[in-house]
Structure 1
Amino acid sequence: MSDAGYDHATVERRWQEAWDEADVYRTPDDVEDPTYVLGMYPYPSGKLHMGHVRNYTITDAYARFRRMQGDDVLHPMGWDAFGLPAENAAKERDTNPRDWTIDCIETMTDQMESMGFGYDWDREITTCTPDYYQWNQWLFSRFYEEDLVERRDAEVNWCPHCETVLADEQVEGEAELCWRCDTPVEQRELEQWFLRITEYADDLLEAIDDLEGWPNSVRQMQRNWIGRQYGAEVDFAIEGHGSVTAFTTRIDTIHGATFFALAPDHPISEELAEENEEIRRFIDEEADPDGDEPNGVETGLTATNPATGEEIPVYVADFVLSDVGTGALMAVPAHDERDHAFAEKNDIEIRPVIAPEPDDDEEPEAPDIADEAFTEDGVLIESGEYSGLESETARERLTADIEGAAEATQYQLRDWGISRQRYWGTPIPVVHCDDCGPVMVPEADLPVELPEFINTTGNPLDAAEEWKQTTCPDCGGEATRETDTMDTFVDSSWYFLRYVSPDLEDAPFDLERANDWMPVDQYVGGIEHAVMHLLYSRFFTKVLADHEGLEHREPFTNLLAQGMVQLEGEKMSKSKGNVVSPQRIVEEYGADTARLFMMQAAQPERDFDWSEEGVQSTYAFLERLQGMVEDYVADEPDGDDDAIASYVDAEIDATVAIATAEYDDLTFNKALRETQDLVRTLRQYVDYTEPHAETYERGLSAVVRLLAPVAPHIAEELHETLGNDGFVAEAEWPTAEIDRDRVEKRRQLVENTREDIRDIVEVAGIEDPTGIEVVVAPDWKYDALEIAIESDADNLIGELMSESHIREQGDAAADYGQDLQVEREALSMTLGPDEEHAALESAAWLIEREFDAPVDVVHAVDADEGTLANAEPGRPAIEIDD
């Protein structure tokens, strides 16, 4: 510390060097009580932003907390270092992605160290290095061996000018132009590599219910993405085209099918388009599956409804998707909103065949479908022999009765296409031989390393002619390497396993250590990864459990999706010019200030607004705390161990217990609010009287350790100032046993009493109180309150009066009973009379300090009857002399 105040730069530099020298955060391989804490590793974009700082402060604070609780904590960091942004940056700067990425990593590492994040840097991984991505290739080969890899044609975005495939996010605007050259983007069929995640669809879906430590919203997003639907497949005959199978979840509505719809890329649609210009124009120019309303074109064909024999018109419609269901559907406008909108637009009959369940013996009435479809289950009407059946029963009957119909299950989930026509990614370990076809590169020849970068249009690997030419591992003949690289989601689907043994040379991870450390106890990252990254990680983990001996089928036990850091209600972004630099905040106020402000501003999963005033206030708090500790050490107090010290001791215990529980729940803002309230109490204590040294030092020590996970540098400094040996990062967490409910009742009692006194002083205009009397309610009122809370009798007053000691109170009991009757639904138990008296008496000094008047806390038996009449449990009566 400096004479001028809190010298954050010196303090933070000193302790970062001390931690490094002592290897404080190094995690041994073999541990007894493992806790794995992990933040989603970052893409090395060049500089940390506030989202990074928040994410990694959350994991760092939790890791430090668990370490102080005695756990062996694995808290590593690495880099999601492959990807398109680095390749684009290299093209723009005429450099190569490797150098660009490594420079960014070095910059961000320095920034992370300046934030004081307690990582075991010996376990750092970087996914663009061959010693990491060779295991992507090894895993790809293992998946191939287990028939979980497939190569087939797939439609991609293609820029004819750049001669390259574009990711969806590189196709810009409604005109769908290439982001780089503004050329209209085409759709092309290319051979692509897929991981067969659909083989695990049921496993992935059914295990979601067991992810109790995940947010419900994330679990539901995964359910929706997998999209399992039970229904039936049923054949409709289309003239001249044979039978076409449609999938439906509502075969009970089949009698209301008034048209049949095909996807624009259904084989029949494409066949018709060759002969019909109107259909061709619709498919090529008008079809918009992402549009606000469904569009289509009539084909002139009809389909035969297998339940009724009715001929219904066939349309090509853009709301039908080839990769959902079968690419064909029976349309029932009365009972499907999308079909209803299309039917209204194209003047197609809307025929209701499901009615709401009628009451008792009434006949079901057709629903009003003029403005919207009736989409609920109900009772069949206008459905021949099936009329009167409930929907569920009808589905079973119709599936059994209609020729060719069969139960079916469909998924929205599609196999994972991992091919990327990019340079900066893991080369897919395949060679193509004219005689042998695609052949896996043998394990002994891994890794297949990237060649030097060639700044060219199209895929740079296609231009690497010398690298491409190779020999077939099977026949020894001439062959070419696969020039696609892997989706970077492959890197992040297992990286958490590599951390347990990052230097292992003969396997992607040490199985025994992985079984000890996994699953990750606490995972933290952005909600934008709620589906893809998390789903793919779950998929990889299940495959590794099935085929590599991993004992855990889920990667992450608890998941926290942190909220955004905003400025004036908007997400920080360079394009909006509202970015606050973490480096500036560290330089001006220190890392501890930034960390503490972020963690106290809101719960981790909530968005919050960055505030310069809030940062300044946080810095001032740390300065005040520093001053309190240094003043204590310079002039150790010699006060009495009295009622005031007893109150402070109780508040210390309460703060420790509550803050510990909040840390455990990752509600850091509540833990820090408790800690700051304790600092406020300690300041009031030392301002009011000569404090008891042991009590005051205990309070300061508790505050320092409670702040240590979030503000570790100043906590180390103050821990040392208080005369402690060793690092606070390795100190024992403070402990206290309390009944939290009673603590909160005690605090509420004291605060309510102080507020009531303030109100009386203000309303009565008392400028200089000379004495304050606080009277606790009589015992019988506490008994009456307990009876009222537990009673379910209609006549509460009668039940109260059945108790002789209450009945003896006469009108007072009747009046109080009436009050209890009115407030019955909102009643809650308070402390008992003796506890209330003790709580108020121990807190009397706070009232005396605020109002500069003596305070007398009086038992009911010693009180004046007039004053006593106003006293109630939890709300003592108050008399103020002026």
Structure 2
Amino acid sequence: MQRQDTYDHAAIESKWQERWADADVYRTSDDATDPSYVLAMFPYPSGDLHMGHVRNYTITDAYARYQRLQGEDVLHPMGWDSFGLPAENAAIEREINPREWTMDCIDTMKTQMQSMGFGYDWNREITTCEPDYYRWNQWLFKRFYEEGLAERKGGEVNWCPSCETVLADEQVEGEAELCWRCGTPVESRTLDQWFLTITDYADELLDGIDELDEWPDSVRGMQRNWIGRQEGTTVEFEVPEFGGIEVFTTRLDTIYGATFFALAPGHELTQELIADDPELATQVETLDPDADGDEKRGVFTGEYAINPATGEEIPVYVADFVLSDVGTGALMGVPGHDQRDHEFATEYDIDIEQVVAPADGEVEIDEEAYTGDGVLVDSGEYDGIESAAARDRLVADLDTAANHTQYRLRDWLISRQRYWGTPIPVVHCDECGPVMVPDEELPVELPEFVPTPTGNPLEEVDSFVETECPECGGPAERETDTMDTFMDSSWYFLRFTSPDSEDVPFDTERANDWMPVDEYVGGIEHAIMHLLYSRFVTRAIGDMELLDVREPFEHYLPQGMVQLDGTAMSSSKGNVVSPVEIMDEYGADTARLFVMGAARPSKDFDWTERGVRSSNEFIERLLGMVEAFAADETTTTDAGERPIDEYVAREIDATIDEASAGYENFRFNDALREARGLVSLLRRYREQATPDEHTFERGLHTAVRLFAPVTPHVTEECWTALGEDGFVAAADWPEAAHDADHEAERQLVANTREDVRHILDVANIEEPAAIEVVVAPEWKHRALDVAIASDEDVVGSVMADEELRERGEAAADYAKDLAERHQSLTEALTPAAEFAALERATWLFEREFDAEIRLERASDAPDDVARTATPGRPAIEIHEG
């Protein structure tokens, strides 16, 4: 059932969206100097916004609006990551063109984004499946090729049999090694593919992580682990008749314990051995490098390798746990000191020998490998040497040993066997080999879609495949692989700086001025692939002298998930809440206020109907309060100097300071809590006394601007009702009128109210007649200052003060108390400031406790009451009626 609001959110929101569009409020001038660049990861156009989108895009929109209110030029663009296999599969399923499906989805999502009031500069909209964008993917690919950063090579690749395409290592998920898109188990195949040699930048990318001090530590750690730099040693094991086979190890000190040698199924020597041995080939085919499980399987080749340290022969196996693209694809098996090798040796009855012993005891290696450093044993001339020193000596002594650094990171495989992606601008000629398409012939455009049940649809389009060689003019065939869609997103943030550029992918001068992105927001699932590729491409482009910036994103914020009953929303789980339904029933501002107020952006939170209703009711109260004041329905005075007026005025200032800090540091929930508290205070102010007109009006103006980044439509309505010209979206951020220690004043009042509540509760007083509040004497403030300034001897420092020493036993007792709390002592307000702060807040005490409040200085109060007062903690005496 449609609920009846007290305000027409649909009319208000559509009105202001039209006015913003007519005035081009969110357009960024090309002449802007270093605007605040605020960017959310652009979406894949799947058809409808979901709550994750709403949260992600409200985060950047709120921050962009806050920056505008601060007087900053702001670049806040939006586009579409519109290539990819899901669109191709959806098109095949619906028997339509992927482009048609994609553009329909974009139209739907754009309409919904505009309905949410997101303040994007739509003049900069980019769509990666448009030729005017992917032309520059092709242009950049050619520059990479010219710089030696793109190459075509064969090798084992990850193949998804369901998607029928190659996957990068980063797109293979979990121990079960499943396709990131469809969840199908991934297979290994050997194919010729195009790679970008990101490994050339491994050290630079790794070292650069230290400079990303505004990224979460967890994300920086994920990038470090993925690059995976390891310092170790390469050394060769001779296999008679086949030569030396290189291995990489971080534990050369264990080489005397190498009792077997293992090859990956795809290793060059393995291929050579099985080529002449059909029976061995059949056995190797049964090995599954992608198998999920703890069992280590292998096949004895009949060959032996020579351990270069011992001169002994050790058996050569092909093992499924050895991977072609990790290390050298071969390893020395040391079962005494590597648990994986231990399990394999146990399975195949291979000797297990201990050659390193812990310095402080013995270990039983028959049951479990000893993997720590220690002292070498049964290692010939190296016995008794510690592991680290032994590694250094062995590198020097073994002829084929050399220090070596290796990485987990592999070159970026960008070839995909699918239609809906950027065509790789290469022509294959029998005479000339792979030839780059000339720049003047770019873009190489996709032909009309020809759906095929399996395989790559491009291979079936003869008019696309058959072409002429750009070099010799002879017959040739176009490359039918298309680019990984991460290529599209690896530089799109640069295109936003000059999206209409026809001669270059982006304007270098403007990109140098506007980059890096100041605030980047998107899912943690992109913490490795997208962010790492973007960092690589940015650096490579810089080395081509097209860009001065080395890192693309200054601050990265991974937003948390929106959950329902503790479970992430998912169509497959049937627990999705539609943003469209929420907008229809409650309005966009309600959805925005709830998602921003529920938790910090990086935290997960639960979507609740109760929370949504509460947000909606609050918006109604705010609008109602403003409209009542604008219609002269709120009685006011021009008093202005009463304690209650001063209290509200200073609370307005405190709220501005705290809310500003919240917005600045992406603690939107804190900022909104402060702003809501101000609205609540204004309501109580109006109920408690006839409010001062200036103070009340300033409070409303402040509250409206504090909410403007999150609830833009209703605050525009409020701004107009308050008689302001122009848009609140373009107004000035409020400024505090008083320079004061608002935090200390607030804490003093809060502590005092809490102490009163505690006494009433303990003494079981239900109807107090009077509450006596006594601030601490000046000498206790002086003692506190002395204690804070002292290094160690607090009591001695306090009693060394002549004025304090005259207080005798009272000063000594207080000094002892200060000494016990020395590490946690903080400065307090002066006695006069304490008294003034409590005097301004007296009305709050009277309102809450319905009793007379007697505020006194220590010098005017009875000694038995005043003696318990300390700085920041007044003495309290309660009198019953």
Report the TM range for the smaller structure's normalisation. over 0.9
Match in the other structure for 2:683: 683
Q: Distance in 2 between matches of 1:474 and 1:439?
A: 7
AA aligned to 2:135 is Q
Match in the other structure for 1:750: 749
Match in the other structure for 2:423: 427
Match in the other structure for 1:165: 165
Q: Distance in 2 between matches of 1:175 and 1:822?
A: 58
Match in the other structure for 1:779: 778
Are residues 1:339 and 2:346 paired? no
SS in 1 for 2:427: strand
Give runs of aligned pairs for residues 219-234 of structure 1, distance below 5 A. 219-234=220-235
Match in the other structure for 2:853: 855
Match in the other structure for 2:439: 443
Are residues 1:627 and 2:624 paired? yes
Q: Distance in 2 between matches of 1:329 and 1:678?
A: 67
Are residues 1:517 and 2:514 paired? yes
Shift of 1:778: 2.2
Residue 402 (structure 1) aligned to one of 398, 401, 416: 398
Shift of 1:626: 1.1
For residues 132-157 of structure 1, what are the alpha-carbon distances to aligned partners after superposition, in whole Å with 9 as ceiling and x for unaligned? 11111111111112222111223346
Change (3 A) 1:299 1:191: closer
Judge conservation of contact 1:156–1:165 (CA < 8 Å) in 2: no
Shift of 1:780: 2.9
SS in 1 for 2:551: coil
Are residues 1:618 and 2:615 paired? yes
For residues 19-55 of structure 1, what are the alpha-carbon distances to aligned partners after superposition, in whole Å with 9 as ceiling and x for unaligned? 0010101111011341111111000000001111111
Q: Distance in 2 between matches of 1:171 and 1:673?
A: 40
Shift of 1:91: 0.4
Judge conservation of contact 1:302–1:314 (CA < 8 Å) in 2: yes
Shift of 1:347: 5.0
SS in 2 for 1:606: coil
Change (3 A) 1:141 1:753: same
Change (3 A) 1:136 1:694: same
Change (3 A) 1:81 1:406: same
Give runs of aligned pairs for residues 452-531 of structure 1, distance below 5 A. 452-457=448-453, 458-531=455-528
Q: Distance in 2 between matches of 1:232 and 1:739?
A: 63
Judge conservation of contact 1:35–1:71 (CA < 8 Å) in 2: yes
Q: Distance in 2 between matches of 1:150 and 1:352?
A: 45
Match in the other structure for 2:322: 320
Judge conservation of contact 1:215–1:560 (CA < 8 Å) in 2: yes
* Two-structure CA RMSD over aligned residues (Å): 2.8
Residue 388 (structure 2) aligned to one of 389, 392, 406: 392
Match in the other structure for 2:331: 329
SS in 1 for 2:572: coil
SS in 2 for 1:432: strand
SS in 2 for 1:112: helix
For residues 577-611 of structure 1, what are the alpha-carbon distances to aligned partners after superposition, in whole Å with 9 as ceiling and x for unaligned? 00000001111111111111111111111111111
Are residues 1:249 and 2:234 paired? no
Q: Distance in 2 between matches of 1:320 and 1:163?
A: 26
Are residues 1:770 and 2:789 paired? no
Change (3 A) 1:303 1:525: same
Match in the other structure for 2:19: 18
Are residues 1:666 and 2:662 paired? no
Bigger drift between 307-316 and 96-105 goes to 307-316
AA aligned to 2:840 is S
For residues 450-482 of structure 1, what are the alpha-carbon distances to aligned partners after superposition, in whole Å with 9 as ceiling and x for unaligned? 111111122111111122221111111222211
For residues 386-443 of structure 1, what are the alpha-carbon distances to aligned partners after superposition, in whole Å with 9 as ceiling and x for unaligned? 3444433332222111111111121111111111111111111111222222211111
Judge conservation of contact 1:279–1:299 (CA < 8 Å) in 2: no
Match in the other structure for 2:696: 696
Judge conservation of contact 1:604–1:666 (CA < 8 Å) in 2: yes
Bigger drift between 33-42 and 162-171 goes to 162-171
Give runs of aligned pairs for residues 529-678 of structure 1, distance below 5 A. 529-635=526-632, 637-641=636-640, 642-678=642-678
For residues 530-554 of structure 1, what are the alpha-carbon distances to aligned partners after superposition, in whole Å with 9 as ceiling and x for unaligned? 1111111111111211114211111
SS in 2 for 1:25: coil
SS in 1 for 2:502: coil
Q: Distance in 2 between matches of 1:63 and 1:777?
A: 46
SS in 2 for 1:235: strand
Residue 415 (structure 1) aligned to one of 408, 411, 414: 411
Match in the other structure for 2:236: 235
AA aligned to 1:688 is Q
Judge conservation of contact 2:212–2:554 (CA < 8 Å) in 1: yes
Q: Distance in 1 between matches of 2:183 and 2:53?
A: 32
Q: Distance in 2 between matches of 1:176 and 1:656?
A: 50
Change (3 A) 1:282 1:687: farther
Number of aligned residue pairs: 871
AA aligned to 1:570 is T
For residues 854-875 of structure 1, what are the alpha-carbon distances to aligned partners after superposition, in whole Å with 9 as ceiling and x for unaligned? 2122111111111112222222
Q: Distance in 2 between matches of 1:66 and 1:385?
A: 69
Judge conservation of contact 1:116–1:591 (CA < 8 Å) in 2: yes
Q: Distance in 2 between matches of 1:846 and 1:164?
A: 70
Change (3 A) 1:46 1:299: same
Q: Distance in 2 between matches of 1:682 and 1:622?
A: 15
Match in the other structure for 1:361: none
Judge conservation of contact 1:354–1:366 (CA < 8 Å) in 2: no
Q: Distance in 2 between matches of 1:658 and 1:178?
A: 42
Match in the other structure for 1:307: 309
Give runs of aligned pairs for residues 786-865 of structure 1, distance below 5 A. 786-793=785-792, 796-865=794-863
Shift of 1:756: 1.2
SS in 1 for 2:574: coil
Judge conservation of contact 2:287–2:320 (CA < 8 Å) in 1: no
Shift of 1:57: 0.6
Match in the other structure for 2:193: 192
AA aligned to 1:327 is G
Match in the other structure for 2:98: 97
Match in the other structure for 2:41: 40
Are residues 1:264 and 2:261 paired? no
Residue 291 (structure 1) aligned to one of 290, 293, 306: 293
Q: Distance in 2 between matches of 1:46 and 1:747?
A: 49
Change (3 A) 1:159 1:44: closer
Judge conservation of contact 1:258–1:349 (CA < 8 Å) in 2: yes
Q: Distance in 2 between matches of 1:192 and 1:432?
A: 13
Match in the other structure for 1:144: 145
Bigger drift between 168-177 and 573-582 goes to 168-177
Change (3 A) 1:276 1:865: farther
Judge conservation of contact 2:186–2:290 (CA < 8 Å) in 1: no
Match in the other structure for 1:872: 870
Judge conservation of contact 2:794–2:819 (CA < 8 Å) in 1: yes
Bigger drift between 134-143 and 312-321 goes to 312-321
Give runs of aligned pairs for residues 61-100 of structure 1, distance below 5 A. 61-100=62-101
Q: Distance in 2 between matches of 1:480 and 1:278?
A: 38
Bigger drift between 271-280 and 400-409 goes to 271-280
Judge conservation of contact 1:150–1:193 (CA < 8 Å) in 2: yes
Shift of 1:372: 5.0
SS in 2 for 1:191: strand
Change (3 A) 1:738 1:491: farther
Judge conservation of contact 2:716–2:728 (CA < 8 Å) in 1: yes
Shift of 1:787: 4.0
Sequence identity, in percent?
61
Shift of 1:196: 1.5
Shift of 1:821: 4.2
Q: Distance in 1 between matches of 2:756 and 2:616?
A: 33
Match in the other structure for 2:708: 708
Shift of 1:565: 0.8
For residues 741-793 of structure 1, what are the alpha-carbon distances to aligned partners after superposition, in whole Å with 9 as ceiling and x for unaligned? x4222212211111111122223232222211111122333333344444443
Q: Which runs of 5+ in 2 are unaligned?
A: none
For residues 182-215 of structure 1, what are the alpha-carbon distances to aligned partners after superposition, in whole Å with 9 as ceiling and x for unaligned? 9x98643222111121122222122111112211
Q: Distance in 2 between matches of 1:175 and 1:205?
A: 25
